[in-house]
């Protein structure tokens, strides 16, 4: 059944729309009401979101969904262990969207599904938690914001460090002038990923609905090096390391500098570490962004060489006229201009004391972020990462990839992120969609 025949776009009507700036949502349940949430996509982040939702008060993971029945069965066993019960399971998320008992969905699918599924969820009357990056291309960012405004639902992006207590304290200190005039943020990520080799066209495994897995993406034959993780490095489905991991720290730098869209973006790098495989993005990338007011952000990504900065595989430093701050998912370290530590705060809950979490991406920041999302649904609490803001951080990553693809810097309209005076670059603003799965608000 195609998307257009399943969900009648606009069924909630424009009357339910609210101003994005109000951060109040239609369908708020009330503080004592329980929330039924469905988790769609049940591998690493799906497990983390399931566990986080299960910890939240008055929340039930009512459904879990995956197009791979082996992964789904494993997740049901995980859910029983972590939640004490098995949610109902589905292999087609559209049946969840038509279920009136489901109040919210959490989207933890491959990235080409993030925006289409989030939009369809809001059209169906669901509040949405969508993992980062929130889109596969810049046009989807704009559609997501339009959908949030039109349907009036809470939509939070999964950049969970926005719910870090130590990072929030750092932002208050920065606004109070602790490091003076803040002018630069440096973000980084490093890993030791292996080559993905050359994939072979093979029969689709019996446990996988390959057609629904592809969804809005143009159809391709199934290869043995795509599912369940390496899709990240293919352009049809993924968006590369700058989105896969860089989104987080670029977002924190934006938060610290108080900036939105840049005036200029430029990126350099390539597929340097392994050169004879199917990886279509970059394993080495340095993206830089200039903003109005004399501010800049850089992101350094090394997917296949894991040498740390500051003994951390990921993090960011914020630089000002009176000092600097180092932030990761569990630490806030303040330095003066002599590089002496003035303050060191650690996240005061277990699971976030280092820069990495366990293999399913579990940390208490995910719990804090999910609690904030649930409080928005039940109490109208202000979201920590509303899609209007999360989409801007995602846009910076898109601009980095577009600059990298074209081999030149981009002039950007700081009002909306659009690329100026470059028709070739703007042709990368959207993608081709499989017929019947075009994204519409």
Find the CATH number of the domain harbouring 260: 3.30.360.10
Nearest-angstrom CA–CA distance, 248 and 159: 6
Asked whether residue 282 falls in the same domain as residue 422, the answer is: yes
For residue 190, give the H/E element and its range. strand 182-190
Asked whether residue 154 falls in the same domain as residue 261, the answer is: no
**Of 384, 375, 401, 383, whose CA–CA distance to 135 is shortest?**
401
- In the chain, the number of structural domains is 2
Asked whether residue 50 falls in the same domain as residue 71, the answer is: yes
Strands, DSSP E only, in 191-330?
Answer: 264-270, 284-291, 295-302, 314-320, 323-327
Residue written as tokens 């990240």?
A: 232
Asked whether residue 151 falls in the same domain as residue 182, the answer is: no
Choosing from 161, 183, 209, the residue where a domain stops is 161
Asked whether residue 279 falls in the same domain as residue 395, the answer is: yes
Q: What is the pLDDT of residue 149?
A: 98
Look up the domain containing 412 and give its range. 165-194+223-360+387-426
Give the alpha-carbon dihedral of 44, 50, 55, 60, to 10 degrees.
Answer: 180
Q: What is the pLDDT of residue 33?
A: 77
Asked whether residue 49 falls in the same domain as residue 126, the answer is: yes
- Residues 6 or more apart whose CB falls under 8 angstroms from that of 336 comprise 322, 323, 342
Q: What is the pLDDT of residue 94?
A: 98
Q: What is the pLDDT of residue 342?
A: 97
Going by their DSSP bridges, the two strands 314-320 and 182-190 should be labelled as antiparallel
Asked whether residue 174 falls in the same domain as residue 283, the answer is: yes
Asked whether residue 141 falls in the same domain as residue 252, the answer is: no
Q: What is the pLDDT of residue 11?
A: 28
Asked whether residue 227 falls in the same domain as residue 329, the answer is: yes
Helix (H, G, I), strand (E, B) or coil at 46: helix
In a domain, 149, yes or no: yes
Measured CA angle at 273 (ends 271, 276), to 5 deg: 70
Asked whether residue 319 falls in the same domain as residue 171, the answer is: yes
- Residues 6 or more apart whose CB falls under 8 angstroms from that of 304 comprise 191, 192, 193, 194, 273, 274, 283, 284
Structure tokens at 308: 């740390």
Asked whether residue 310 falls in the same domain as residue 393, the answer is: yes
pLDDT below 50 — which residues of the chain? Answer: 1-23, 349-362
Q: State whether the Cα torsion 349-357-154-165 is positive or negative.
A: positive
Asked whether residue 305 falls in the same domain as residue 422, the answer is: yes
264-307 pLDDT tens trace: 999 999 999 999 999 999 999 999 999 999 999 999 999 999 99
Buried b / exposed e along 216-249 (16+ C-beta atoms within 10 A): bbeeeebeebbbeebbbbbebbbbbbbbbbbbbb
Q: What is the pLDDT of residue 363?
A: 74
Mean per-residue pLDDT of the chain = 91
Q: What is the pLDDT of residue 6?
A: 33
């Amino acid at each position: 059944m195609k998307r257009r025949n399943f969900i009648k776009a606009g069924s909630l009507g424009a009357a339910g729309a609210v101003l994005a700036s109000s951060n109040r949502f239609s369908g708020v349940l009330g503080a004592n009401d329980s929330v039924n949430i469905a988790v769609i996509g049940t591998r690493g982040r799906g497990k983390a979101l399931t566990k986080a939702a299960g910890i939240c008060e008055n929340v039930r993971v009512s459904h879990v969904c995956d197009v791979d029945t082996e992964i789904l069965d494993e997740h049901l066993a995980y859910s029983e262990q972590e939640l004490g019960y098995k949610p109902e399971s589905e292999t087609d998320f559209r049946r969840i969207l038509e279920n009136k008992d489901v109040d919210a969905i959490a989207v933890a699918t491959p990235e080409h599904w993030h925006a289409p599924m989030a939009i369809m969820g809001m059209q169906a009357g669901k509040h949405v938690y969508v993992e980062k990056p929130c889109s596969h291309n810049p046009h989807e960012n704009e559609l997501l914001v339009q959908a949030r405004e039109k349907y009036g639902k809470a939509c939070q992006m999964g950049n969970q460090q926005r719910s870090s207590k130590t990072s929030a304290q750092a932002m208050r200190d920065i606004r109070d002038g602790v490091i003076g005039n803040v002018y630069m943020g440096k973000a980084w990520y490093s890993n030791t990923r292996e080559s993905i080799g050359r994939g072979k066209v093979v029969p689709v495994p019996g446990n996988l609905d390959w057609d629904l897995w592809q969804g809005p993406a143009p159809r391709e034959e199934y290869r043995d090096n795509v599912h369940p993780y390496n899709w990240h490095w293919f352009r049809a489905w993924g968006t590369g390391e700058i989105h896969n991991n860089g989104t987080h720290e670029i977002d924190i730098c934006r938060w610290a500098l108080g900036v939105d869209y840049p005036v200029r973006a430029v990126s350099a790098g390539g597929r340097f570490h392994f050169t004879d495989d199917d990886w279509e993005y970059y394993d080495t990338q340095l993206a830089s962004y200039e903003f109005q007011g004399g501010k800049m952000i850089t992101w350094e990504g090394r997917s296949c060489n894991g040498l740390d900065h500051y003994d951390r595989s990921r993090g960011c430093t914020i630089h000002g006229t009176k000092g600097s701050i180092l932030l990761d998912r569990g630490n806030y370290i303040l330095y003066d201009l002599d590089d002496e530590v003035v303050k060191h705060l650690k996240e005061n809950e277990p699971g976030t004391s280092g820069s990495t979490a366990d293999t399913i991406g579990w940390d208490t920041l995910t719990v804090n972020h999910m609690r904030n999302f649930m409080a928005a649904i039940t109490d109208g609490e202000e979201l920590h990462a509303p899609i209007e803001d999360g989409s801007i951080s995602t846009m910076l990553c898109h601009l980095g990839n577009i600059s990298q693809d074209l081999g030149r810097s981009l002039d950007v309209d700081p009002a909306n992120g659009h690329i100026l005076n470059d028709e070739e670059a703007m042709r990368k603003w959207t993608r081709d969609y499989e017929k019947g799965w075009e994204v519409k608000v």
